């Protein structure tokens, strides 16, 4: 898709009974998650319009104009899925104004556009809205327990703060919204931890990965499938309650554990073609501008109860991703 174009897809109505003429507006359609969603919508016959930087989300007039143009063209917006965000965690500390414009003002403007268009909104957020220290209570036996949706937030960097404020802006401006917090996202269409590990493992004889940060990897395909399931549930008159939900793949590990599995599975599938020693280290050995969460495991009880979904384990999804990556490389 060209840099300044609008992708209008007119797919068949195979995703439930999509209201006549209604469609999904996919914002941020060229990013890792947005691209995954666009491909999934195309395969499942979901009518959607995909936009990226050609529609300025920091300009409420531009968003309002687009929804009006779509309606005038016989393509009224029934759903908005927002994948646009500023995600450079360290750079955000020096780029505060622009990060806030995208993650807070942009989120608020999209939510307002959804409300004015009578559309439902899916907005993605992050584990960084928490401080990453974990919550310990009597029931957890002194160990940190997974964060629940109603736990108090406490972001410790600009990125997390703007994502938390963006959540609040969405709730304030569009009550018919779903906010999906996720963590450790990776996928086929963009830079991510798995792709970086594969590259380094094929270049080096040894790598070190931190072993004191714990979380749950999330395959972008699984997260995209969840967004589609929310839309399908609404079309089938069984919509979950609006609000905040957590979604990652099942299980929790450290980055070192993740890297070890990437190496083992990648080696077996031929994506890692040489021996590479994967060793562990502490976060203190690789200091970053922003302290990464030591514990960012998210509780998914609420989303499983709301939709009845079975969430794949992180290692199973990693294997499926690596198989898909191998096929993608064979085609190119």
Residues acting as catalytic residues: 159
Tokens representing residue 283 in the block: 């976060």
**Backbone CA torsion sign across 36, 40, 43, 47:** negative
Q: For residues 286 and 70, what is the distance between their CA atoms, to the nearest angstrom?
A: 48
Structure tokens that stand for 304 in this block: 């499983």
**Contacts of residue 93, Cβ cutoff 8 Å, sequence gap at least 6:** 157, 158, 289, 290
Q: What is the DSSP string of 146-184?
A: PBPTTSPP---SHHHHHHHHHHHHHHHH-SSEEEEEE-S
On whether the CB atoms of residues 257 and 297 are closer than 8 A, the answer is no
Count of other CB atoms within 10 angstroms of residue 130? 24
Best CA proximity match to 293, nearest among 147, 109, 116: 147
CA distance 31 to 76: 24
The Cα 149–Cα 272 span in angstroms is 38
For residue 231 the two structure tokens come to 């839309």
Contacts of 293 (CB under 8 A, 6+ apart): 127, 128, 130, 131, 132, 213, 215
> What contacts 235, CB < 8 A, 6 or more positions away?
15, 16, 17, 18
Judging by beta carbons within 10 Å of its beta carbon (0-12, 13-18, 19+), is residue 103 exposed, middle or buried? buried
Tokens for 34?
A: 């947005």
């Amino acid at each position: 898709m060209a840099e300044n174009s609008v992708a209008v897809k007119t797919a068949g109505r195979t995703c439930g009974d999509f209201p006549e003429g209604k469609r999904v507006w996919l914002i941020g359609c060229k990013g890792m998650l947005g691209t995954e969603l666009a491909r999934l919508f195309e395969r499942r016959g979901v009518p959607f319009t995909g936009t990226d930087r050609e529609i300025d989300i920091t300009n409420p007039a531009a968003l309002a104009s687009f929804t009006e143009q779509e309606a005038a063209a016989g393509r009224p917006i029934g759903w908005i899925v927002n994948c646009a965000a500023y995600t450079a965690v360290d750079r955000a500390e020096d780029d505060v104004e622009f990060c806030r414009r995208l993650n807070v003002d942009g989120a608020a403007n999209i939510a307002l556009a959804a409300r004015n268009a009578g559309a439902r909104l899916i907005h993605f957020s992050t584990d960084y809205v928490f401080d990453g220290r974990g919550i310990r209570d009597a029931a957890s036996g002194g160990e940190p327990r997974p964060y629940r949706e109603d736990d108090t937030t406490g972001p410790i960097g600009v990125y997390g703060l703007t994502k938390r404020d963006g959540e609040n802006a969405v709730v304030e401006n569009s009550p018919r919204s779903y906010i999906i917090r996720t963590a450790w996202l990776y996928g086929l269409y963009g830079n991510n931890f798995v792709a970086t590990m594969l590259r380094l493992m094929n270049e080096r004889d040894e790598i070190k990965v931190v072993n004191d940060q714990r979380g749950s990897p999330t395959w972008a395909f699984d997260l995209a499938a969840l967004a589609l399931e929310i839309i399908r549930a609404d079309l089938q008159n069984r919509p979950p309650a609006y609000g905040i939900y957590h979604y990652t793949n099942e299980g929790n590990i450290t980055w070192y554990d993740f890297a070890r599995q990437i190496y083992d599975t990648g080696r077996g599938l031929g994506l890692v073609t040489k021996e590479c020693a994967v060793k562990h280290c502490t976060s203190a050995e690789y200091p970053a501008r922003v302290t990464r969460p030591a514990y960012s495991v998210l509780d998914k009880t609420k989303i499983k109860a709301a939709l009845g979904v079975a969430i794949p384990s992180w290692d199973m999804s990693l294997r499926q991703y690596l198989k898909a990556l191998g096929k993608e490389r064979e085609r190119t």
